[in-house]
Amino acid sequence: MRVTSNVVSALDPDPRRAGAVRVLVAGELFCTVPQETVRAEGLVPGRELDEPLRERLVAAADAEAAFRTILRSLEARSYARRDLGRRLVRKGHPRTAVEHALERAATLGLLDDAAFARNYVQTRAARGRGPARLVRDLSAMGVERNVVDAAVAAEWDGEGGSDRAEMPRALASKRAAQLGALPRDVKRRRLLAFLARRGFTGSEALQAVERAVSAPSS
């Protein structure tokens, strides 16, 4: 940034970003901020920028840039709030700017961890992932545990719960057929490990495996 003057020379709408304004000082771009910032700070051509105002504009510009990155990211797919925040920080956005941008996105309804968790559980459960795997995945994304538990419980205890209860049995049976004529203990161990990777543990996994290894074809 080579700007040496402290006087705003122009305020131009950003042609690439609706609702954003380019702040020019001495004819050079100083920063790009939301229209709301321009109004709140009373910016007009000829306004002198003291140091506190310059710092506020830079902070607003950083938050605006982070928010635009959020919008581009959400166009591709949905994210958990904390996971998206970590990604933005890794991209080089200042942490404070990221927090402001995430809060703005949440206020606009663009980020909702409860809705994200429900959708994630529904789609992944349909692909054969079990409760333990889903809890592990969502927790790694930074979703609060109570939100994760509610999403998993809704899927397994709700209308589709009976279908979900049959899933480890179906998975174990299919996998057992693929393992062929292995010794029973070897097959049992591999089936338990297979179901554990899928997120099925405890009594439901044990029962599914015992049923699979006891079947005539096993």
CATH value at residue 82: 1.10.10.10
Residue 146 lies in a domain: yes
Listing DSSP states for the chain in one string gives ------BEEEEEE-TTSTTEEEEEETTEEEEEEEHHHHHHHT--TT-B--HHHHHHHHHHHHHHHHHHHHHHHHHH----HHHHHHHHHHTT--HHHHHHHHHHHHHTTS--HHHHHHHHHHHHHHTT--HHHHHHHHHHTT--HHHHHHHHHHHHHSTTHHHHHHHHHHHHHHHHHHH-S--HHHHHHHHHHHHHHHT--HHHHHHHHHHHHHSTT-
Which of these ranges, 60-64, 92-96, 106-110, 185-189, has the smallest mean pLDDT? 185-189
> Do residue 103 and residue 12 come from a single domain?
yes
Residue 1 lies in a domain: no
Rg (CA), the chain: 27
Q: Is the pLDDT of residue 218 over 60?
A: no
Confidence of residue 132 (pLDDT cuts 50, 70, 90): confident
User: What mean pLDDT do residues 103-113 have?
Assistant: 93
Confidence of residue 121 (pLDDT cuts 50, 70, 90): very high
pLDDT at 2: 47
- Give the count of alpha carbons within 13 A of 183, CB side only: 3
Residue 184 lies in a domain: yes
Q: How many domains does the chain have?
A: 3
> Do residue 118 and residue 103 come from a single domain?
no
pLDDT at 216: 66
First-to-last CA distance in the chain? Answer: 72
User: What mean pLDDT do residues 8-17 have?
Assistant: 91
User: What mean pLDDT do residues 9-20 have?
Assistant: 89
Other Cβ atoms within 10 Å of 171 Cβ, number = 20
Residue 45 lies in a domain: yes
Q: Is the pLDDT of residue 146 over 60?
A: yes
Two structure tokens written together for 191: 């089936």
Residue 3 lies in a domain: no
Instruction: Identify the top-confidence range among 111-120, 191-200, 202-211.
Output: 111-120
> Do residue 136 and residue 208 come from a single domain?
no
> Do residue 208 and residue 152 come from a single domain?
no
- Is 179 in contact with 200 (CB distance < 8 Å)? no
Confidence of residue 3 (pLDDT cuts 50, 70, 90): very low
Q: How far apart are CA 209 and CA 200, in angstroms?
A: 11
pLDDT at 165: 64
> Do residue 87 and residue 147 come from a single domain?
no
> Do residue 90 and residue 29 come from a single domain?
yes
Residue 69 lies in a domain: yes
Task: Using alpha carbons, select from 159, 133, 135, 165 the residue that is nearest to residue 147.
Answer: 135
Confidence of residue 181 (pLDDT cuts 50, 70, 90): confident
Beta bridge partners of 33: 21
Residue 145 lies in a domain: yes
Task: Using alpha carbons, select from 84, 27, 89, 34 the residue that is nearest to residue 57.
Answer: 34
Domain that holds residue 191: 166-214
More confident site: 159 or 87: 87
User: What mean pLDDT do residues 170-177 have?
Assistant: 79
Confidence of residue 179 (pLDDT cuts 50, 70, 90): confident
> Do residue 30 and residue 91 come from a single domain?
yes
Q: Look at the block and give the residue holding tokens 């980020």.
A: 111
- Is 173 in contact with 136 (CB distance < 8 Å)? no
